[in-house]
Amino acid sequence: MTSRRQFILSSLPAGALLLSGTAKAEKVSENDPQAKGLGYKADATKVDKSKYPTYVAKNNCANCTLYSGKPNDSQGPCGVFGGKNVTAKGWCSVWTAKS
């Protein structure tokens, strides 16, 4: 069975990932319909843990494989959101550990 995370990752257009490092710095809003659907929070400590039990406290955008911000930046591009910026301390249900 394909998980929601696997489905989203496999359906990303290749360009979204390629552009993620160079896209203009538009910031993802928590009220964006896609962000709401994925449970994105700009501050991971605000994640609804009852709704997203896979959330683990140390996980955030900065250590997600889809985040392409620089190590000390407060925000950076995310491939899931077409290269728009997410906060380094944010989180969404697509979080995948950097390898």
Would you count residue 55 as binding ligand SF4 (CB under 6 A)?
A: no
| Residue in 80, 83, 84, 85 binding ligand SF4, rule: CB under 6 A | 80
Select from 55, 67, 83, 84 the one that contacts ligand SF4 (CB under 6 A): 67
Residue type, 24: K
Q: Taking CB under 6 A as the rule, does residue 64 contact ligand SF4? A: yes
d(CA 42, CA 15): 24
Q: In angstroms, give the least distance from the CB of 97 to ligand SF4.
A: 10
Measure the CA–CA gap between 4 and 38, rounded to whole angstroms. Answer: 10
Closest CA to 97 of 73, 74, 63, 70: 63
Contact by Cβ (8 Å): 55, 87: no
| Options 10-18, 19-27, 49-57, 88-96: segment touching ligand SF4 (CB under 6 A) | 88-96
